Every structure is written in structure tokens, then in C-alpha cells.
Structure 1
């Protein structure tokens, strides 16, 4: 897979990866994850699209500055990668924190986004539906093994976990330094695009699993009602990593949406 580096506005090096051929599709990973978040899924798109991923600052082969960051700042990093690749406009598909970032790309850089897909994400701010206290406690357990198991169970159904031993590509970049993890968590928690969502003009599809407790599914309807002409699909029985467990059907939903001429 072709790889390279772009430079963010502040000089941070951003590692990117390109695969497939066709109209460009940017795939944005979740919090504390690098491009491997999309392993096993990006292949679904590479027959019809040139896929572009990159390692968020703090992850993978990108630089890891010990400085505060924001989902809006991450959106500027996306544009830096597009500029490096000479891409004027692309489809953008973001999941989890990647969906928060994708919102800002479409808000702040409307000419760079043709179509927008927002998965298992939230508008942020006081109007969003937050995860419950039990979920927060489970993820904050001092025992790393117990916390990882809790995260897996938030990502996938028990049936899927029983049949799949790995790889666990949505559990975060294991080499991410602690300061970068803190900055990612703060950026995701501070996200609030509610007031600006009405400015999005890209055709938008919102996807969410009904059984997602990490980011409750009611956020999908909140986002779809806020973005003009957006449509939401809530997927029965799926959790936060719906895009893995729900393959190939969820990938086909995205491909159909991106190919629809209307």
C-alpha cells in the first residue's frame, strides 16, 4: 500500500496510506487508533474507490507532540493530507471520533467533501446522549485486562466475539504514548458541533448500531435531524464496531450511498 507523509499547519508530520482506485474516499479512525482501525474493511471499498487513511497525530507513524488537540484541529489535518495528495474533493467516512472529525471537515471545508458518512458518533455538547455511568466505570478499571474485555464487549456482540479471536484492530494503538492518549480523550470529550451541523451541505448518511452503549444510538437521529436532508440507518443488534461485525452489509450500504447519483 503506498504510504507517505503530509505536514499539518503546525508542522506535525502525518503518515497516510492509499489503496484502491477510483473516486477518493477518506476513512477516519476512532479515538486513540491509527489507520489499522479499518483493517478488514477498507478492502470492501477499494474496488470502487481510492481509499485514503492516515494516522491521527499521536498514533502510528505520525508525530506525537505533547500538545492539546481538538476534533476541529484533526479536521485540518485531514485537509493537509488531501492537499499533499492533490485531492480537491473527496467522500469522507468517519466512525466514532473519526465521525466527530468528519463533521468539522464538512463544516469548515465544504468544498472538500462530496458526500459524508458518519458512523457510531455524536454531535457532542450538552444535547448529545452520553454513555451511562456503568460504561464509564467499566472502561476506567485499573486492571488493564478487565478494561480491555469491557471495551471488546462494547465493540462487539458476545456471539461475534465467540467466533472471532482477532485481530483486535479497534482497541487502540498499543504504542501510543500516555500523553497522546490523554489529548485524544480530551479532544473527543470536548467535541461540540451541534450549532454548526446545520451548515453541512454534503449529502449525509448516518449509521449506528442499535446496541451501541459506547455512543448511544439516539445520537444518530440527533445528527440526522440537525444536518439538512441527512438520513439515518440504525442497524439491529450491532454495537460500536458495527462496520466490522456488520460486514458486508454495512459496507454495501455505504457503497450504495456513495454511488447513488441523486
Structure 2
């Protein structure tokens, strides 16, 4: 059976856009695949194998590059609703009737809109290191840390930006981050680079729109009560990019969902890498119920 390291990219064309994805894992326990949506500037080559492999050992997984990202063609859409349209259309093109969905960080924004706009498509939803669109109680992240991620243009700048944004600055935590960086960047061959300047600018535009109360009607904050499926919300207790309080606000607004909240101690945005073993186990337990 293929692993994250050995899975070969596959492609499907939807409305003139060639979407790239990895699809691998076990179908022994369930035929419902788990789709992963990645963070800001990331591609399907930027996941942690220590997170992905324990999950794919028990279920099929699909890691998707949205349009304009990684090995996919096209351009980055301006709203997360459009990103969600892409997810739903790719799933349909693959002949899949229902999925579980995990969105991390910016991918979590997309996951919320997918669940809201395609409610029969999603069986269970996992929202990791993310939060709702603009609304009461929502806090903005560290603009300097986000700026370093956005402007990074070489390996050293990318490493520095992600380690500072995902991990606290203590020597022990930076050492943990360095181990993650090494295993993540060496897991796969022929890896895509982080998203380039043009696509990054488009992603920033989508973030700004998501965070602007003037576009509240396009977002998730006032619609979270529409979600009526099991939802797992997870984060670290000191997330500086998508502040941890936003996970709490999101959890409280999922009034009609079977919502669960898990906060990991002494960790930030990169909790799913630092606690990869625990989080992968939690994901499998949540999806197996």
C-alpha cells in the first residue's frame, strides 16, 4: 500500500482546470475517504508524514492542490466559497458521493464553506488551527508573523517563517519545529515549492475578504448554526496565526452540530505536527465513531 512518501500525483480535469491530488490508504474499514485541505501557501507536498501515515493506515485519504496551487493549473480564487466549489466539483468528478473533510488553517476556512454550501457531501468535519470569518469575538493573528510567511522567497526565509509562526520561540520548541521541517521537506520527491508571489497575493486577498465584516455574507460566522454533522475543532493553546480564542468562538457557534473541542497544551499553530501521533489518533477515533 502506498504511503505519503510513495503516493504518485494524479490529475482530474474540471471545467478546464487540471487538479492535482494524492489518493492512497486503506479502504478496509470504510469507503468514505478523508480529504485534506492545506494551509496558506502550502501544497499537498507540505504535510507531515507522521500525521498522514497513521491516518492513511486506517482509511483512504485524498490530499488536494486547489486551483493555482502546487501541481494544479488555473488561478487562486478570490473567495473561499469558490475554493469550496472546486473541492466539491473535484470530489464529484472522482465519482465519490460522500467524504470526511479536514481543513488546516486557511484550509479550515475552505472546509467550513464546503460544509455550509454542500451539506450532503460531508459526513464528518475536522477544523484544525482555524476559525470563522469576521464576527464578534474573533481576533486577528500576529500580522508580523503572517507577513514573514507571505514574503518568504527562499528556503531559509520559508523555514524561519514557518518555524516562528507554527512554534513558540523557546529552544525546545524550535528544536521540535526543526525536526518537523526536516521530515516534512524530505518526505516526498519532486516536491512543489510553496506558492509563488502571484498566487500568494491572491490568497492574501481571500484572507482579507474573509476577515472583513463588510463581506460577512460571504463567510461562515453567521451560518455556523447550519452545520448539523459531527465536527472536531482542534488547536494549540497559543496559536499566534489564528488565535486560539477563535477556535472557542467557532465551537460555541456550532450550535446544531455534534461539536467537539480539543486544545493541546504548550503549543501553537503547529500543534498537529508537534502532537502528530496524538492528533492522528484523535482523528481516527473521531471518524470511526
Q: Distance in 2 between matches of 1:104 and 1:88?
A: 18
Aligned partner of 1:218 among 212, 230, 245:
245
Aligned partner of 2:114 among 105, 116, 133:
105
Correspondence for 2:62:
52
What secondary structure sits across from 1:31 in the alignment?
coil
How much has 1:7 moved relative to structure 2? 2.9
Unaligned runs of 5+ in 1: none
Q: Contact 1:31–1:188 (CA<8 Å) still a contact in 2?
A: no
Correspondence for 1:151:
162
Q: Distance in 1 between matches of 2:40 and 2:107?
A: 7
RMSD: 2.4
Aligned length: 257
Q: Distance in 2 between matches of 1:58 and 1:142?
A: 18
Written as runs of structure 1 = structure 2, the 5 A alignment for 1:178-197 is 178-191=197-210, 192-197=219-224
Q: Distance in 1 between matches of 2:93 and 2:151?
A: 41
Structure 1 pair 20–225 and aligned structure 2 pair: CA distance change class (3 A): same
Aligned partner of 1:244 among 254, 273, 277:
273
Q: Distance in 2 between matches of 1:45 and 1:150?
A: 27
Q: Distance in 1 between matches of 2:69 and 2:183?
A: 16
Correspondence for 1:176:
195
Q: Distance in 2 between matches of 1:177 and 1:141?
A: 10
What secondary structure sits across from 1:182 in the alignment?
helix
TM-score (norm 2): 0.80
Unaligned runs of 5+ in 2: 1-6, 186-190, 211-218
Q: Distance in 1 between matches of 2:90 and 2:140?
A: 31
Structure 1 pair 44–33 and aligned structure 2 pair: CA distance change class (3 A): same
Written as runs of structure 1 = structure 2, the 5 A alignment for 1:8-23 is 8-9=14-15, 11-22=16-27, 23=32
Structure 1 pair 168–21 and aligned structure 2 pair: CA distance change class (3 A): closer
Aligned partner of 2:52 among 42, 45, 66:
42
Q: Distance in 1 between matches of 2:39 and 2:93?
A: 22
Moved over 6 A (4+): 140-144
Q: Contact 1:21–1:47 (CA<8 Å) still a contact in 2?
A: yes
Q: Contact 1:8–1:76 (CA<8 Å) still a contact in 2?
A: no
TM-score (norm 1): 0.88
Correspondence for 2:89:
80
Structure 1 pair 6–143 and aligned structure 2 pair: CA distance change class (3 A): closer
Q: Distance in 1 between matches of 2:147 and 2:19?
A: 33
For residues 168-212 of structure 1, what are the alpha-carbon distances to aligned partners after superposition, in whole Å with 9 as ceiling and x for unaligned?
A: 749x96363321111112113322311111111121010010011
Written as runs of structure 1 = structure 2, the 5 A alignment for 1:198-237 is 198-227=225-254, 228=256, 229-237=258-266
What secondary structure sits across from 1:207 in the alignment?
strand
Q: Distance in 1 between matches of 2:146 and 2:95?
A: 41
How much has 1:108 moved relative to structure 2? 0.6
Q: Contact 1:120–1:208 (CA<8 Å) still a contact in 2?
A: yes
Structure 1 pair 12–248 and aligned structure 2 pair: CA distance change class (3 A): same
Q: Contact 1:125–1:190 (CA<8 Å) still a contact in 2?
A: no
